[in-house]
Structure 1
Amino acid sequence: MAIFTLDEVRKTFKNGEIKEEILKGINLSLREGEITALVGASGSGKSTLLTIAAGLQAATNGQVVFNGNNMTTMNEEQIRQIRASQFGFVFQFAHLVPFLTVEEQLLLMLDVSESKLKKQEQKIEINRILKLVEMEHRRNAYPSSLSGGEKQRVAIARAIIHKPKILFADEPTASLDSKRSKDVMRLIRDLTKTLNITTLMVTHDEEMLSYVDHIIKMSDGLVLEKEF
């Protein structure tokens, strides 16, 4: 059963008197424990689709339904609450807070997501997640002392510490070399399965597609092909 669906999603931008349709009626279903990759040339609409699915911008038409709830009828505060508590985000760059240690990065995310875990429970959960991403030995390190691959591992830990239902990953390996890219993708794949997360990822790197369950090929705001 799909936990996340997009139904005839369209996005139009207005440039002066000219209207440009970036998404032209996208239908997509995502299931728990699976990774779906959006691929296509620059300007195909894949990043726009990801941001609409994540509630970062609104669709012009169509519906975005998460866990049975129609996000297109929600107000801004309701969407913010879903983003904070139910969604996790990983981007091309880690965007870690420079003056916080690895452990403090995760504590901040628990605070932002309004976690109901007590202090001792938070410590236990942080220990568990850092072990999953193999970064427990760097818990007291600051971002300036971390490698690019380590920063992405911390970013992934931060994205899942509050137990989100959906993980959105926008070019998560684009800033890494081939070896670190594969390490990060293996980690995303393993966490998706272990934690039963639904992952939607944008990538331009075809080497990463061997780690995903479904591939959605896009061009000019349309889905050209779906591979399952």
Structure 2
Amino acid sequence: MAFFTMDHVKKSFLQGDVQEEILKGVHLSLRKGELTALVGASGSGKSTLLTIAAGLQSASAGEILMEGNSLHAMDQEALRKIRAERFGFVFQSAHLVPFLTVEEQLKLMLHVSESKLTKMAQRKEIARILKLVEIDHRRNAFPASLSGGEKQRVAIARAIIHQPEILFADEPTASLDSKKSKDVLSLIRDLTDTLNIATLMVTHDEAMLPFADRIIRMSDGLILQEETTKFRSPLFAPDHF
């Protein structure tokens, strides 16, 4: 069942004297345990849609509901708490803090999300998540010593350490080679299932689409096609790595 919906969402900007429409009335729903892929050419509106869904920018019109509650009606502090506590974010670049170790990156996220866990419980949860994403052997490493794939694993661990309900991923594999891309998408796929997270992912890479439960194709600010599939291609099926 969808617990997050976007209803007739529009976004426009004033460019000089011209009102430019980026989104032209988009309807979208997210369900827990489901990975939804947004695809489309550059300028189609897919990244704008994701950032609006994530509360990182506001819509010009339309409604965004989470468990029946309007995000538009929330004040900035309430929206900040939603983003910090119930959303997780992974972007094209890992955006790790350069002077913090892998373990410290996750501690910082627990602080930002105002975790109620005790310090001992936080250490146990960090250890569990680092093991889950198979980066626990690098827990004391600084970002400069990590490979691109390792950095993205840390970014994913940081995005889920506070147990979010929705994971927003904007081109999470764009800076990786095909092998590392497959590994990272396999990880996101597994976490979506294991942790029962609703994942919304923007990607331009058609090879990554077999990892998705739903594929939504966008063009010129509109959703053109929505495909539901449980198919896993043997060529791109997630590996146990």
If the TM-score is normalised by the length of the shorter chain, which range does it land in? over 0.9
Residue identity in the other structure for 2:133: V
1:165 maps to: 165
Deviates more, 1:30-39 or 1:69-78: 69-78
Residue identity in the other structure for 1:148: G
TM superposition shift of 1:17: 1.3
1:221 maps to: 221
2:80 maps to: 80
2:145 is aligned with 1:145? yes
Find the aligned partners of 2:176 and 2:219 in 1 and give their Cα distance. Answer: 25
TM superposition shift of 1:109: 0.1
TM superposition shift of 1:211: 0.3
Cα deviation digits, residues 53-98 of structure 1 (max 9, x gap)? 0000110000011122110111111111100000000000100000
2:25 is aligned with 1:29? no
Residue 93 of structure 1 aligns to a residue whose secondary structure is: coil
The residue correspondences of 1:7-18 to structure 2 (distance < 5 A) are: 7-18=7-18
TM superposition shift of 1:3: 1.4
Cα deviation digits, residues 17-50 of structure 1 (max 9, x gap)? 1101110000011110000010000000000000
2:232 maps to: none
1:49 maps to: 49
Q: What is the aligned residue count?
A: 228
Q: CA RMSD in A?
A: 0.5
Percent of aligned pairs sharing the same letter: 72
Residue 57 of structure 2 aligns to a residue whose secondary structure is: coil
Q: Point out 4+ residue stretches in structure 1 off by more than 6 angstroms.
A: none
TM superposition shift of 1:15: 1.0
Cα deviation digits, residues 89-123 of structure 1 (max 9, x gap)? 00001000000000000000000000000000000
TM-score (norm 1): 0.99
Residue 28 of structure 2 aligns to a residue whose secondary structure is: strand
Residue 184 of structure 1 aligns to a residue whose secondary structure is: helix
The residue correspondences of 1:33-182 to structure 2 (distance < 5 A) are: 33-182=33-182
Residue 163 of structure 2 aligns to a residue whose secondary structure is: coil
Find the aligned partners of 1:55 and 1:11 in 2 and give their Cα distance. Answer: 13
Find the aligned partners of 1:66 and 1:204 in 2 and give their Cα distance. Answer: 27
Residue identity in the other structure for 2:5: T
Find the aligned partners of 1:114 and 1:61 in 2 and give their Cα distance. Answer: 31
Cα deviation digits, residues 121-146 of structure 1 (max 9, x gap)? 00010011001000111100000110
Cα deviation digits, residues 134-177 of structure 1 (max 9, x gap)? 01111000001100000000000000000000000000000000
Which structure 1 residue ranges, 5 or more long, are not aligned?
none
Find the aligned partners of 2:18 and 2:75 in 1 and give their Cα distance. Answer: 28
2:237 is aligned with 1:204? no
Find the aligned partners of 1:51 and 1:172 in 2 and give their Cα distance. Answer: 14
Residue 72 of structure 2 aligns to a residue whose secondary structure is: helix
